[in-house]
């Protein structure tokens, strides 16, 4: 009997767990460790953040689903990896710390045959003084954060109805943030809801981003064929911002958030301040800070993890300039190069480099969007690692049998720009591959037949359908496995 332990129950971890459970017979054990008791469809948090959805609409209890699926679930967080075991235990194990109210703080050593690290990110609000719900800005990264943001928005709307004019600031709270798409979605849903509330004329809305161009999205932007031209995504993004009356500030590193004022440095090295009444700023991500220890008790964290605390996998981590970055640098199997029974998927794996061109100010401040590893690519990675582990257990394969490189993987993304069956809209984008490949696709870096984008009502319908479809799948309802990632 083999035991597979999965750390994390986000999109990649949960996908891996369900696939492993379905493909492995009942003689094998699948264990999920997650500090959260609820699964969260994070793409819909933006709708929680404007008050259109509740926590219950975007989450469900993990324990119920795992009990039904036959997956052992512990509400806990992993704190220490022992990939070689220790003097007492010859086999590898992970030390977990329970987070459920009845066992809070209790530690347990859990042996494993295979480990999938899908912990996702640590929301690093501490990187910028004053950033985050415990400081002076709001967030939509978790359903609790999004609920608080919705309350703050409601209060702001009441103030505007009483005659005040307010400044709304939305964007990234640090120069190295990722998930610019979430900030993009939030700013347009905010604008749409202010219009619905009849207070749009009393609001100044500013989008502040670490992207050097609008529409970069951490993937170095897109080139799209339109009306006989190949056009940069920034052209379409700017058009939408102007149409909706949203101002923008590009290439910005937020260095400090005070009560109602943000301080930021731009790519020209100048420092600016901006007063706000409402700020939703996303934090940068780091790994969750797992410690790794070898059989002699020596700390091997730096061997398993990159300095940003994400886990090293089968990527090429050689430092090289932007011009030399290749799709081949990106991992294919997500297997640890040091321990073949450990995989890291989703946000938890260390990317070899960014996708967007990295930039520095004259003061040496790095302003570079980090590469996104969420959504569809994240689910595909979870599936890939799970299928490889199944073959390693059942067929005795020595090497991973499945691959899914972001250099040969596409992505479909629907970015909401306002919710409503008749009046809503969303930007529908597909891109192939995620990592630009200028050798295969000179000029654009991506296949122009498969890299497309458009805005319209249809996009909103799709976003809404995907919300229900993926929650259905995550609940492991009948036929869930037929729904692709």
CB 432 → other proteins: shortest distance, Å?
6
| Residue of 2, 63, 328, 376 interacting with other proteins (CB under 8 A) | 376
| Residue of 80, 238, 294, 391 interacting with other proteins (CB under 8 A) | 238
Helix, strand, or coil (residue 480): helix
Contact 470, 37 (CB under 8 A): no
Does residue 241 interact with other proteins by CB under 8 A?
yes
With CA atoms as reference, report the closest residue to 50 among 189, 228, 167.
Answer: 189
From CA 234, how far away is CA 354, in angstroms rounded? 19
Helix, strand, or coil (residue 146): helix
**Peptide bond connecting 43 to the previous residue in cis, omega within 30 degrees of 0:** no
From CA 96, how far away is CA 112, in angstroms rounded? 12
Contact 125, 138 (CB under 8 A): no
Cβ closer to other proteins: 286 or 388?
388
| Residue of 404, 419, 435, 471 interacting with other proteins (CB under 8 A) | 404
Q: What is the total count of residues that contact other proteins (CB under 8 A)?
A: 36
Contact region for other proteins (CB under 8 A) — 54-62, 158-166, 215-223, 425-433? 425-433
Contact 451, 444 (CB under 8 A): yes
Cβ closer to other proteins: 184 or 305?
184
Does residue 380 interact with other proteins by CB under 8 A?
yes
Terminal-residue alpha carbon distance, the chain: 28
93-98/107-111 β-pairing: antiparallel
CA dist list (Å): 465 to 115, 462, 471 = 33, 5, 10
From CA 367, how far away is CA 254, in angstroms rounded? 10
| Residue of 36, 260, 271, 430 interacting with other proteins (CB under 8 A) | 430
| Residue of 166, 462, 475, 480 interacting with other proteins (CB under 8 A) | 462
Does residue 457 interact with other proteins by CB under 8 A?
yes
| Residue of 61, 106, 247, 316 interacting with other proteins (CB under 8 A) | 247
Does residue 364 interact with other proteins by CB under 8 A?
no
Contact region for other proteins (CB under 8 A) — 149-157, 239-247, 268-276, 296-304? 239-247
Does residue 13 interact with other proteins by CB under 8 A?
no
Partner residues linked to 349 by β-bridges: 311
CB 74 → other proteins: shortest distance, Å?
30
**Residue 30 token pair:** 């699948």
Residues that bind other proteins (CB under 8 A): 235-236, 238-239, 241-243, 247-248, 376-377, 380, 383, 404, 409-412, 422-423, 425, 428, 430, 432, 450, 452, 454-459, 461-462, 484-485
């Amino acid at each position: 009997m083999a035991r597979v332990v999965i750390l994390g129950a986000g999109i990649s971890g949960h996908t891996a767990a369900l696939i492993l459970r379905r493909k492995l017979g009942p003689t094998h054990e699948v264990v999920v460790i997650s500090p959260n008791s609820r699964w969260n469809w994070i793409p819909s948090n933006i709708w929680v953040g404007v008050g259109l959805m509740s926590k219950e609409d975007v989450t469900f209890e993990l324990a119920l689903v795992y009990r039904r699926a036959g997956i052992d679930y512990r509400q806990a967080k992993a704190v220490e990896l022992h990939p070689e075991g220790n003097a007492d235990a010859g086999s590898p194990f992970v030390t977990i710390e329970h987070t459920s109210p009845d066992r809070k703080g209790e530690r347990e050593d859990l042996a494993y045959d295979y480990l999938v690290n899908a912990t996702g990110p640590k929301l690093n609000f501490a990187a910028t003084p004053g950033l985050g719900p415990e400081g002076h800005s709001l967030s939509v990264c978790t359903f609790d954060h999004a609920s608080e943001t919705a309350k703050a928005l409601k209060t702001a709307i009441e103030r505007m109805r009483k005659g005040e004019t307010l400044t709304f600031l939305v964007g990234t709270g640090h120069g190295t943030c990722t998930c610019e798409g979430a900030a993009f979605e939030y700013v347009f849903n905010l604008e749409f809801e202010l219009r619905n509330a009849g207070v749009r004329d009393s609001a100044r809305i500013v989008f502040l981003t670490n992207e050097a161009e609008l529409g970069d999205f951490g993937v170095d932007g897109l080139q799209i064929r339109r009306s006989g031209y190949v056009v940069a995504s920034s052209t379409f993004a700017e058009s939408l911002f102007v149409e909706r009356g949203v101002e923008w500030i590009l290439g910005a590193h937020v260095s400090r958030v005070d009560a109602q004022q943000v301080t930021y440095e731009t790519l020209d090295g100048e420092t600016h301040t901006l007063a706000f009444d409402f700020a939703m700023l996303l934090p940068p991500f780091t790994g969750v800070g797992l410690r790794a220890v070898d059989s002699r008790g020596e700390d091997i964290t730096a061997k398993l993890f990159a300095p940003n605390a994400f886990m090293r996998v089968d990527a090429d981590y050689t430092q090289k300039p932007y011009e030399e970055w290749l799709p081949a640098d990106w991992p294919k199997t997500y297997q640890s190069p040091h321990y073949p029974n450990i995989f890291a998927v989703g946000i938890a794996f260390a990317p070899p480099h960014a996708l967007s061109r990295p930039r520095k100010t004259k003061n040496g401040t790095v302003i570079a969007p980090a590469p996104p590893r969420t959504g569809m690519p994240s689910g595909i990675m979870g599936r890939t690692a799970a299928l490889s582990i199944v073959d390693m257990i059942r067929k005795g394969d020595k090497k991973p049998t499945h691959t899914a490189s972001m250099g040969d993987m596409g992505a479909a993304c629907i970015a909401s720009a306002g919710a409503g069956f008749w009046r809503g809209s969303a930007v529908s984008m597909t891109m192939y591959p995620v990592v630009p490949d200028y050798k295969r696709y000179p000029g654009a870096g991506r296949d122009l037949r498969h890299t497309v984008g458009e805005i319209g009502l249809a996009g909103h319908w799709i976003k809404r359908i995907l919300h229900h479809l993926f929650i259905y799948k995550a609940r492991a309802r009948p036929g869930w496995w037929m729904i692709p990632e």
